[in-house]
Amino acid sequence: MTASMNPPGITAVLLLSCPDRAGLVARIAQFIYERGGNILDLDEHVDVRDHHFFLRVSWSLDRFSIPAAGLEEAFAPLALEFSAVWKISLSGRRDRVAIFVSKYDHCLRELLWRHSLGEFEIDISLIISNHSDMAPLAAHHGIPFHVIPVTPGEKAEAERLQIGLCEAAGIDTIVLARYMQVLSPQFTLRYPSRIINIHHSFLPAFVGGNPYRQAYERGVKIIGATSHYVTDELDEGPIIEQDIIRITHRDTLEDLVRRGRDLERMVLSRALGLHCEHRILVNGRKTVIFG
Amino acid sequence: MTASMNPPGITAVLLLSCPDRAGLVARIAQFIYERGGNILDLDEHVDVRDHHFFLRVSWSLDRFSIPAAGLEEAFAPLALEFSAVWKISLSGRRDRVAIFVSKYDHCLRELLWRHSLGEFEIDISLIISNHSDMAPLAAHHGIPFHVIPVTPGEKAEAERLQIGLCEAAGIDTIVLARYMQVLSPQFTLRYPSRIINIHHSFLPAFVGGNPYRQAYERGVKIIGATSHYVTDELDEGPIIEQDIIRITHRDTLEDLVRRGRDLERMVLSRALGLHCEHRILVNGRKTVIFG
Amino acid sequence: MTASMNPPGITAVLLLSCPDRAGLVARIAQFIYERGGNILDLDEHVDVRDHHFFLRVSWSLDRFSIPAAGLEEAFAPLALEFSAVWKISLSGRRDRVAIFVSKYDHCLRELLWRHSLGEFEIDISLIISNHSDMAPLAAHHGIPFHVIPVTPGEKAEAERLQIGLCEAAGIDTIVLARYMQVLSPQFTLRYPSRIINIHHSFLPAFVGGNPYRQAYERGVKIIGATSHYVTDELDEGPIIEQDIIRITHRDTLEDLVRRGRDLERMVLSRALGLHCEHRILVNGRKTVIFG
Amino acid sequence: MTASMNPPGITAVLLLSCPDRAGLVARIAQFIYERGGNILDLDEHVDVRDHHFFLRVSWSLDRFSIPAAGLEEAFAPLALEFSAVWKISLSGRRDRVAIFVSKYDHCLRELLWRHSLGEFEIDISLIISNHSDMAPLAAHHGIPFHVIPVTPGEKAEAERLQIGLCEAAGIDTIVLARYMQVLSPQFTLRYPSRIINIHHSFLPAFVGGNPYRQAYERGVKIIGATSHYVTDELDEGPIIEQDIIRITHRDTLEDLVRRGRDLERMVLSRALGLHCEHRILVNGRKTVIFG
C-alpha cells in the first residue's frame, strides 16, 4: 500500500444515486479499497418501486493513494458508467451557510447556540433579515448581518440583493429560520435541495398561513413541525424531518404557539444536522435519510 | 345524613356544558353534597374564547338520599337554570354498542379482546358487516352478527336495515371499526356524537381514500391515525384521539399499512374507552376530553 | 355582589391537600363563590389507597369581596377544620428563584431564554456557581452572579454562604441547572419541595454518577432525563417530570451526552414551569401534577 | 453470467461480526457480485471503541452461480480469514419457534394474531406452559400445547422435559411471552441469543419482581417494557427493544398493569420481528440492530 498523500484525519463522504443494477456496492467498495481507503460507514437503499439505488459511504483518507483534490476526477468514470448523480464531500471543507430570519428569534438562537457547541460542521457566514431585530444577536456571535426589507412590488430587487450577498460569500446552504417571506421560483431554482425551511405544522396538514390557528380551530390532539427543502411549490418540497407534541383542549392558541416553538427549533436543528453531515439524498418529492 | 336508597357501589357521572358564569362548580358540588354524595372525581374546563363551561363530575351514591332513578328529575331544575346540555350516567347501566366492520379484522379483534378482559364498561350487542368474513370471530365471542351488503343504489335500503337492527337492540353507540362505507347524513344525524370512526391518517392530513398511499407518495416521516365522532361531513367530525409512529424511507407502502394497523386499533380502543367512561364533551367541531 | 377591593386581573391559586371526606369541593367552591370569586380552573385528585385529597383551584379576584391581603386569614379556619396543608399564591406575586450551575451551560441558557420570553412567572434573582464560566452569560441577562467554590472539607462553609445569599435575596425556589455538587441534608431540609434538580437519566435507572456512560454500557435503546424535588436522599426525591429519546447502536457515548442535553433542558424547563404555576403537590415520595 | 442453480425468489441474509480491518465490505460485496448475486440491502456498523465490525447483507439468489445448499461452504474460507462469527439464512427456511407462557394471555395472543397475518417469517411449532389456561387458544390456532408444571424442587425435571420437547421439534428460538418462571443457566446457556424475554419495566429500572408496583410506589411519570435476550444473569441480557408510555398520578396500580399490557405485547412483537428477520447481532452485553 502506498503512503498516503493526505494529511491525517480527513474523511470523504460520497452521496450517490443511480438506476439500480448488480454490483454497485461491490464496484464502489472496491474503488475505495484498491486505493487504500478504509470504509467507516456505508448505508444503501434501493427504491424497489422505481429500481433506483441510493448510497452514502464514508471512508478514511489516511492511507489513501490519491490526493483528496484528485478524488472527484478519479471517481468520475465510475459515476459516468452508472449514470449517477453524486457528490463527494471532504471533512476539511465545511459548508458555508446563510440564515434568513424575520422577527421570531427561537430558531436562529437555537442554531447559533448549537453551532457554538460545535454540533454542526458548518460555517455560518451571514444572516439576512427583512427586519433589524436580530442585529444584536448576530453581533454577539460575530456574524455579518444584513437587513434587506421586502416590500410589496420590491421583492425581485430584494432577492437580487440576497443572491448577491450569498454569491459573494460562497454560500452552499440557506436556512430559513422562520423567515416569513415566500421566495420566488427564480430564487429557489438557483439552490435546489440547498434551502431548508421549517414549517410550523405537521405537513401536509395546515399548509399555508397561520397553521397553529388552523390546528386550534380544527381541534387536533397533536401538533407538529416539518423541515423540508424548498422548491418552487409552497410547502411541497421534500420532507427532511418531522416531529409532534400532544396537546389538549386546555391549550389555548397562545399555548400552541409557545409549545410549537420548541418543536420548530428542534426539528430545524435536526434537519440542518442531517444536511451538513451529508446524510440526505432527494428522491423526487421524497428524501432518503441515512441517519 | 339519611340512609341511602341505593345499592352499594353505584356511582353517577354528570357531563354538563353551559354558558360560563360564577358559581357553577359551587352550585353543582353543593347539589351533590347536600344529598349525601361524595365526589370521587371532578374536572372542569372553561373555553375562554367562547365563555363556555364544561364539567365532568363523578360521585358515589352509597349514602345518597335520593334514589338513582330519581336523579335526573332532581337535577333538571339546576340544569334548566344554567341552560345546560347534560347527561347523567350510572355505573350499573352499561352502554349498548354496535360495531360496524368490513373485511379488515384488526380493529374488531382488538375491541373484542379488550372487552373480554373487562376494559370497556359496555355491552357489545351486535356486529354488522357488509361482508361475511367476520362471522366466525363474532360467533367465537357469542355476539349476534348480521351481514347487510351495501350495493350501489341500495345504500338507503341497507341503512334502513342497519337502523332497524340498532333500534331493536337499543344501541347507544356505534363504532366503525374500519367500516369501508360512508354513512349518509340521514344515518349520522340520528346518532350525534354517538358514532365513533377510526381514520387511518393523521387528520386533517390525507382526508379521503387511500391515506397510506397518499402518505407514502408525499414522503412524510410520521404517519398517524385519528378517531373522531362522525358527522355529516366526511372526516370532519370532532377529533377524540390521535397518535403517530415514525417511518423512514425504508418503509414500503405495505409496511405503512402493516404498521398503521397497530396505530389504528390502539387509537380506536382509547377513543372507545374515553367515550364509554363518559369523558368526552363536544364543543362545536372540537372535543373536551377529561382524561 | 359587593364591589371588589382588588385591582383588576389578579387571580388566586389555592393548592391544598388533606384527608379525604365528603363535601370538600363543595365547601371550598362555596367559600369562593360566596365572596364573589369566579373559578377559572379546578382540578382535584383523591389517592384512593391513602384516602387523601388533593386540590388546585384558581379564581379571579376581580369581584372578590375581601382584599387579596386578607385571603389567607379568611381561608385559615376552613383549612384548619380540614387538617389541610395548603398555600395560596397571587398572580401579582412572582416567585423569587436562584439558579445553581457548574460548567455546563445548556440548562441555564435555556431557562434564561425562556424567561426572557416571559414563559415563567418568576424573578430570577441570582445565579450561584462553583465556577466562574457563566459570569458573562449572567451579565448579559443582568442577573447577579456569585462564584462560591466548593472544595473538599469546605462544603459546609460554601453552603453557609449560599444560604446567606438566598436568604438575603428572599429566594423561594432553587433550581439546580446541572449543578455538580451534592447538597447536604442541612441545606435540602431548609427548602422542602423547593429545590428542583435535573438528573440526566430516566430515574430510577442509572442513579448516581455518569449515567450516560452507564446507559451506553448497558446498551439501552432509550435514554431519559428526570426532574425532581431534592430531598436528603440522593436521586430519590419526588419526580416532577421525565422524558426520553430513542437511541441506537450507532450513538456513541458523546452522542448520548449531546442528545441528552436537549432532553435535560426541556425536562427541567417543564418542571420549573409546573412549579412556578403552582401545579405540583407532593404526596410522600410522589407528586400530583395538575397539568 | 451462468444460469442460476436456485429456484426464483430466494434471498440470502448474512449476519457477520469480526475484528475491523480495511476491505471487509469490498471483499464480501465482491464475493456476492462475482457469483451473480444482487445486493438488496446492506448495513454495516463499526464499534470504534472495540474496533469490531458488524454487517448484515441480503441478496437475491435468482442468478446466483452456486446452489443455496452450497453457500455456507463457499463463504467459509472468507469468514475464516476474517476470524468472523457469522450465519447465513435463506428465505425459504423459516425459524422454528417455541412460545413459553404462564397465565397472562396478551403477549401470546398478540404473537399468534400477527403470525396469522403473516407478519413473522416463522413456524410456531409448540407452546409450553406451566398452566393449562392457554390450551383453548393454542387449539384454536392448531399449535401443539404442552403443560409442564414447575414446582419447587422439580424445576430441573421440568426443564429436562421442556428441552426434550424443543429438541424433538427442532426449535431455533424460544419466546418467553410473560412466562413467569426463571430458567436455569443450564437451560439458557443451551440457547445463546435465542431466547427472547419481555420484561415489564424499562430496564435497568425495576429489575426483578413486581415492576409495576415498584414504578407505582416510586411515582415515575413514564413506564416502560423491555425485550431482551435471556442470559444466565436475570434481567441482564442484551436489550433488543424498549418502549414507554406516559402515566400520571391518576393512574392506579391496576391502570399501570392494564396499560403496560399494550406496551409489553408491542415491544415483544417488534423484538421477535427483528430476530426472525435476522436483524440482530449481539455485541457483548449489547445488540446491534439493523432496522
| Helical residues (DSSP H) of chain D, grouped into ranges | 24-34, 71-81, 106-116, 135-140, 155-168, 185-188, 211-218, 253-276
Every domain of chain B with CATH number 3.30.70.260 lies at 11-90
Query: Of residues D95, D172, D235, D251, which has the active-site annotation?
Result: D235
CA distance B188 to chain D (A): 32
pLDDT level of residue B1 (50, 70, 90 thresholds): very low
Question: In the predicted model, is pLDDT for residue C41 greater than 70?
Answer: yes
Q: Is the distance from CB of C197 to CB of C230 less than 8 angstroms?
A: yes
pLDDT in tens, A158-196: 999 999 999 999 999 999 999 999 999 999 999 999 999
Bridge partner residues of D45 (DSSP): D54
* DSSP helix/strand/coil, C55: strand
Is some CB atom of chain C closer than 8 A to the CB atom of B25? yes
Classify residue A119 by burial, with Cβ atoms within 10 Å: 0-12, 13-18, 19+: middle
Q: Return the CATH fold of A95-289.
A: Rossmann fold (3.40.50)
Identify the residue whose cell numbers are 384516602: C51
The DSSP output letter for A181 is S
> Hey, what amino acid is at B127?
I
Is some CB atom of chain C closer than 8 A to the CB atom of A266? yes
Point out the residue among C22, C38, C40 whose CB comes nearest to the CB of B38: C22
Question: In the predicted model, is pLDDT for residue D1 greater than 60?
Answer: no
pLDDT level of residue D31 (50, 70, 90 thresholds): very high
Nearest CA in chain C to B43: C43
H/E run at residue A41:
strand A38-47
pLDDT in tens, B244-280: 999 999 999 999 999 999 999 999 999 999 999 999 9
The DSSP output letter for B94 is P
Question: In the predicted model, is pLDDT for residue B114 greater than 60?
Answer: yes
Chain D CB contacts of B250 below 8 Å: 291
Chain B CB contacts of A44 below 8 Å: none
Chain D CB contacts of A34 below 8 Å: 26
Question: In the predicted model, is pLDDT for residue D2 greater than 80?
Answer: no
Identify the residue whose cell numbers are 412572582: C94
Size of interface C-D (CB pairs under 8 A): 85
CA distance B54 to chain C (A): 11
pLDDT reported for residue A3: 57
CB contact set of D124 (below 8 Å; sequence gap of 6+)? D97, D98, D99, D111, D112, D115, D141, D143
**ipTM, two decimals:** 0.93
**Exposure string (b/e) for D93-102, b if CB count within 10 Å is 16 or more?**
ebbbbbbbbb
Average the pLDDT over A5-13 and give the result.
89
pLDDT reported for residue A1: 44
Average the pLDDT over C190-201 and give the result.
96
Q: Is the distance from CB of D238 to CB of D205 less than 8 angstroms?
A: no
pLDDT in tens, C230-272: 999 888 999 999 999 999 999 999 999 999 999 999 999 999 9
Question: In the predicted model, is pLDDT for residue A102 greater than 70?
Answer: yes
CA distance C246 to chain A (A): 13
Length of chain C counted residue by residue: 291
Identify the residue whose cell numbers are 406451566: D130
Q: Is the distance from CB of D51 to CB of D21 less than 8 angstroms?
A: no
Point out the residue among C219, C252, C285 whose CB comes nearest to the CB of D238: C219
In 3D space, the residue among C94, C92, C22, C16 whose CA is nearest the CA of residue C55 turns out to be C16
Size of interface B-C (CB pairs under 8 A): 61
H/E run at residue B258:
helix B253-276
Q: Within 10 A of C135 (CB to CB), how many other CB atoms are there? A: 14
For chain A, what is the mean pLDDT? 94
In sequence order, what DSSP letters do the residues of C151-207 get, joined into one string? -TT-HHHHHHHHHHHHHHTT--EEEESS--SPPPHHHHTTSTTTEEEEESSSTTTT-
CA distance B220 to chain A (A): 6
pLDDT in tens, D150-195: 998 899 999 999 999 999 999 999 999 999 999 999 999 999 999 9
Torsion sign over Cα C2, C5, C9, C15? negative
Average the pLDDT over B92-97 and give the result.
92
In 3D space, the residue among A15, A139, A138, A147 whose CA is nearest the CA of residue A72 turns out to be A15
pLDDT reported for residue D3: 57
Residue C68 to residue C90: CA distance in whole angstroms: 8
pLDDT reported for residue D209: 84
Task: Pick the more confident residue, D4 or C127.
Answer: C127
* DSSP helix/strand/coil, C26: helix
Supply φ then ψ for residue D87, to 5 degrees: -155, 135
Every domain of chain C with CATH number 3.40.50.170 lies at 95-289
CA distance A272 to chain D (A): 23
pTM score of the predicted model: 0.95
Is A255 a residue of the active site? no
Query: Hey, are the CB atoms on D258 and B119 less than 8 Å from each other?
Result: yes
Point out the residue among D26, D34, D46 whose CB comes nearest to the CB of A33: D26
Nearest CA in chain D to A22: D38
Query: Hey, are the CB atoms on A262 and C266 less than 8 Å from each other?
Result: yes
Query: Hey, are the CB atoms on B25 and C25 less than 8 Å from each other?
Result: yes
Point out the residue among B22, B33, B40 whose CB comes nearest to the CB of C26: B33
Q: Is the distance from CB of B31 to CB of B19 less than 8 angstroms?
A: no
CB contact set of C10 (below 8 Å; sequence gap of 6+)? C60, C61, C62, C68, C90, C91, C92
Question: In the predicted model, is pLDDT for residue A209 greater than 70?
Answer: yes
CB contact set of D62 (below 8 Å; sequence gap of 6+)? D4, D6, D8, D9, D10, D38
Is some CB atom of chain A closer than 8 A to the CB atom of B193? no
Q: Return the CATH fold of B11-90.
A: Alpha-Beta Plaits (3.30.70)
Is some CB atom of chain B closer than 8 A to the CB atom of C27? yes
Q: Is the distance from CB of C227 to CB of C270 less than 8 angstroms?
A: yes
> Hey, what amino acid is at A66?
I
pLDDT in tens, B116-158: 989 999 999 999 999 999 999 999 999 999 999 999 889 999 9
